[in-house]
A and B are shown apart, each in its own frame.
Chain A
């Protein structure tokens, strides 16, 4: 479905607006509206450690333009970000930094592991002394993207998959972290 149709038909808006004189009346479940709002304004954190970051920049740039789906504002601080896209290899020295950034993000927060390095340690240097074999050893991951590096289309697909996950009622309790 084209994005424009989506906007015009309000296809995925979880509720009904009844036109009445003097304004509309909204009938819906509050949870669903909140999830819908969250899903359509995911702000990604700028976090790129290797080549995947270049692909992520391409996704943000004019040709692919992830602003169309509501990822307009790539924040340079975890305090204002909803989703962290792990674009690149995570090495042992980077792991505590990634953990700290994730901890500093306000709830609800989501994680996308982009590319082979972030999902499994990578296609060529997984058997080494320095690389963490997948970002899910450090923080919980919502969506994995295959590829080395994944094309911008794949990243957009993953972001839409995350949106669908949120719209389907994924509230923050679903990602349960034992805070010991």
Chain B
């Protein structure tokens, strides 16, 4: 399926969705509260069976979760972005839809402090359990190890 065909299909499924312009892959911008429904729809009817990247971006005013999805059968790719509140970042987990999300989400929690609602085992992945703070946030400070530039 080409990007344009995919865009039309997604627009049919989600009439309220908006898209970023000028991107290589179709980029959906969604409200974080609708993410679970969108994810189910994408995996069931549009056959996105492979979540190959989950990441988080700190924009200082808010956080953005970015999900990259690929269909191994249809060969199309979609990117989904959801804005989160920086003080209390919460979003539904998709580890029950794509198993790979379990560790990806643990990583995002570890480094950005995003709370994934319904995650089966949300604890730190890379850092030790007693670590304080979320080191990839822009306002993270570590006076012991880091020089302020």
Contact = CB atoms under 8 A, between A and B. Distances in A.
B89 interface: no
Q: In terms of DSSP, what is the predominant structure of the interface of chain B?
A: loop
B149 A129 contact: no
Interface string B82-113: 00000000000000000000000000000000
A176 interface: no
B1 interface: no
B128 to A, nearest CB: 7
A127 B147 contact: yes
Nearest to B148: A127
A129 B146 contact: yes
A130 interface: yes
B140 A129 contact: yes
Interface residues of B, number: 10
B146 A130 contact: no
B145 A129 contact: yes
Main secondary structure of the interface of A (DSSP, over half): loop
A129 B133 CA distance: 11
A18 interface: no
Contacts of B145: 128-131, 133
A63 interface: no
A93 B128 contact: yes
Contacts of B128: 93
Interface string A122-162: 00000111110100000000000000000000000000000
Contacts of B142: 129
B78 to A, nearest CB: 32
17 contacts: A93-B126, A93-B127, A93-B128, A127-B146, A127-B147, A127-B149, A128-B135, A128-B145, A128-B146, A129-B135, A129-B140, A129-B142, A129-B145, A129-B146, A130-B135, A130-B145, A131-B145
Interface of A: 93, 127-131, 133
Which 4 A-B pairs have CB atoms at the shortest separation, nearest pair first? A129-B135, A129-B142, A129-B145, A127-B147
